[in-house]
Amino acid sequence: MPTEIIADPDVLEEEYIPQSLPCRDAQRTELAYCLSPFKNRTRPYDCLCHGLPGTGKTALVKYVLDQIRENTTAQAFYVNCWENKTLSLILDRLVEQAGIVISEVSYSVRIARLREKLKNRICIIALDEVDKLDRKDLNNVLYMLKELGKVGIICISNTRKYVITLDPRITSRLNLKCINFPKYSDEELMTILKHRVEYCRALYPESYSKEILEKIAEFAAGDARIAIQTLRSAAYNAERTDGCKITEKDVMKGYEAVKEIKKKYELEKLTPHHKLIVEILKRHYEISSTDFYCHYRREAEKQGLKVKSSRSFNNYVAELIELHYIEVERAKVRGNVRFFKVV
């Protein structure tokens, strides 16, 4: 019979939202300020929660939406835009969450029914992973939502630039208040891990040590999602090998598994053009800025992709740099030549 390490496996799942969220008090205060006007029955401010993956954006927004549903009469919606990449799919999720039963597929009918259901009620709509939508689609989605009434929109994005460079007619209507989610420090990750294992009782007492949690926090490098999933994987490794405690070897194996899963998962969420840019760099190891776009055009044509402008290409590259998929360094020559390579 294997030794029991995990007391409550649900606490270590990605979807789990604890009753309190440590180390995000400043962001919670800012988000509460953005939403506070709905207490006076006026439209909340729109806001953009931005930061790298694993910095607590989705967890905090879901936590706040749960509080709104439980304690107020306002409507609160959450839609993941990577899973729902079109205006029609996003509208379907809103109709479902509003409890509207409708067989009509017409866009205008669904909009009319949703507007009728909401009427003059205050409504908060969170759009997660908005940077995974095509820019034109995102412009259309935001325009549609602003027409629904007293709607406050929360955009969640890995990159701030993607949203604030949308159509000026949209951004001027939104007047987004930006909330930054920086990477966690090792000390903050320790606090989060201790909160999960002690306060939320994820693991049995004596099944882990402080040093093990410190090692996980160090490996995670500011990413709470990686930290929690590494802890989960390490705990399962310890149980499978009938260990009495989680060991450093369990942590190493858990971290390597989680790191590979995350890379594949994140890459799947990128557009074909992002993926092509990464593939090109993997094949060539390092490419100068003078040759990079030429390689992209040639490969895009081969794969039957519509070639993007150099401006769009540069935006894709900037997003990949911000997400730490690729890195750039200035060449040791005159001019503005740079070299790109995969991280």
Is the pLDDT at 343 greater than 80? The verdict is no
pLDDT at 249: 94
227 sits in which H/E element: helix 224-240
What structural domains and CATH numbers belong to the chain? Answer: 25-180 (3.40.50.300), 185-267 (1.10.8.60), 272-342 (3.90.1150.220)
Is the pLDDT at 322 greater than 80? The verdict is no
Of the candidates 170, 157, 163, 88, which has an alpha carbon nearest to the alpha carbon of residue 129? 157
- Range with lowest mean pLDDT among 118-127, 219-228, 235-244, 321-330: 321-330
At 170, the pLDDT band (50, 70, 90 cuts) reads confident
**Residue 340 DSSP SS3:** strand
Q: Classify each residue of 313-336 as buried b or exposed e, where b means 16 or more C-beta atoms within 10 Å of its C-beta.
A: bebbbebbebbebbeeeeeeeeee
Strand 338-342 relative to strand 286-288, pairing: antiparallel
pLDDT at 120: 79
Task: Select the more confidently predicted residue: 270 or 303.
Answer: 303
pLDDT at 161: 82
pLDDT at 163: 84
pLDDT at 332: 62
At 142, the pLDDT band (50, 70, 90 cuts) reads very high
Beta bridge partners of 76: 124
pLDDT, tens only, 83-125: 898 889 999 999 999 998 887 778 888 899 999 988 878 899 9
pLDDT at 334: 56
pLDDT at 119: 83
Q: What is the mean pLDDT of residues 30-44?
A: 87
pLDDT, tens only, 248-269: 999 999 998 887 777 776 777 7
pLDDT at 124: 95
Of the candidates 341, 208, 325, 220, which has an alpha carbon nearest to the alpha carbon of residue 283? 341
Is the pLDDT at 1 greater than 50? The verdict is no
Is the pLDDT at 333 greater than 60? The verdict is no
- DSSP annotation of 20: S
At 29, the pLDDT band (50, 70, 90 cuts) reads very high
pLDDT, tens only, 200-223: 999 999 999 999 999 999 999 999
pLDDT at 212: 96
